[in-house]
Chain A
């Protein structure tokens, strides 16, 4: 049984960084989200996974408008990135240990006022380093191509801060190898949900043919409209509809949605969850751990156990 389960959780950096203007209610909700991530971490541990296949939409770190693929698989020996706040603070909150570079004095600032996690400005001196399941990554790439999925690949394992954040909580000691499947969740036109679901089904066949115990992790969501005139709107009705479908084992219904629909609901990143749903398969009910609505985003947390 190489597929050992799945988890889905937001990657919002505001789970670790709270703006000074936020009120007590906001902080309580963030704490609920962190508690939910603790539940998901227990699921990861309970699964006995060797490898986590992380499905995440890149935030203009590995790709930009010169090339933005719908999907892209990392093939490398390791992946690395910076946290969204200072590693000392992250360790206090999540227990995530980090690599201390002798030549590096501070992790807390970046050029031009950029948040440290946004660009690849540090080069190699990144505090969070994860081993990549290279053998299974290569195998997955080859087999997806053979199955008719023209999967691009990258050998650059740079992780944006949001991706690192999820691993801070779910793989804090970096003792599980990872695989990275990057997606396009926010640069229209995004991949069609049906294609995402079918990709997930294909990935499952590859995982089932492997000796490795693989847990799937989908990041992102739920409804939010960053950088648009709708920032501050959250489509809670849509978020709850998605979670309801997942809890009933009806994830396939997500595949019938159009790319424009999920984007207009503020949840283009649902493509990550839909790929995961394809891996999990039909009729497997999710356990929804938590849903909180902050003023600018809906945060959903769920897990699946294999049948």
Chain B
């Protein structure tokens, strides 16, 4: 693993942050319950309490901060689904990923 790969994947492969955050339970539930998108925006305190989110987690969700969510342990596959559900189609731009190499 080169340094660039190591750094980019550390929180996911080495630290396995996804194992200890409820972000993934929440997004798994979103897939099955579309009303959770509305609740996230309209009732964030209730959502935070129900899923035991800390302020950093609920803020990252509300702000659709893809890179922060990734670093906090939102699993990459569920991050893609979350992005789709909140209307971000080319999520990789928000992550700063290389994408198609031509800027798209």
B37 touches A112 (CB 8 A): yes
Q: Which of B1-34 contact A (CB under 8 A)?
A: 1, 5-6, 8-9, 12-14, 16, 18, 24-25, 28, 30-32, 34
Q: Specify which chain A residues have a CB less than 8 angstroms from the CB of B53 in the assembled complex.
A: none
A231 touches B98 (CB 8 A): yes
A17 at the interface (CB under 8 A from B): no
A232 at the interface (CB under 8 A from B): yes
| B-side interface size class | 35 or more
Q: Specify which chain A residues have a CB less than 8 angstroms from the CB of B67 in the assembled complex.
A: 229
CB nearest to A233 among chain B residues: B98
**With A112-B30, A114-B31 in contact, is A226–B13 under 8 Å at CB?**
no
Q: Which of B70-101 contact A (CB under 8 A)?
A: 70, 75-81, 84-85, 87, 91-92, 95-101
Cα distance A260–B6 when bound, in Å? Answer: 10
Q: Specify which chain A residues have a CB less than 8 angstroms from the CB of B84 in the assembled complex.
A: 113-115
B9 touches A263 (CB 8 A): yes
Q: Which one of A97-105, A185-193, A243-251 is at the B interface?
A: A185-193
Cα distance A186–B18 when bound, in Å? Answer: 11
Cα distance A115–B92 when bound, in Å? Answer: 18
A186 touches B28 (CB 8 A): no
- Chain A min CB distance to B77 (Å): 6
**With A263-B13, A295-B100 in contact, is A232–B32 under 8 Å at CB?**
no
Cα distance A238–B83 when bound, in Å? Answer: 29
| Pick from B1, B5, B75, B99: contact of A295, CB under 8 Å | B99
Q: Which one of A60-68, A76-84, A131-139, A147-155 is at the B interface?
A: A60-68
B31 touches A232 (CB 8 A): no
CB nearest to B32 among chain A residues: A119
Q: List 19 A-B contacts (CB under 8 A).
A: A60-B28, A60-B81, A65-B18, A113-B84, A119-B32, A188-B12, A188-B13, A225-B9, A225-B97, A227-B76, A227-B77, A227-B78, A229-B8, A229-B67, A229-B96, A230-B98, A260-B1, A263-B9, A264-B1
Which B residues are within 8 Å of any A CB, using their own CB? 1, 5-6, 8-9, 12-14, 16, 18, 24-25, 28, 30-32, 34, 37, 67, 70, 75-81, 84-85, 87, 91-92, 95-101, 104
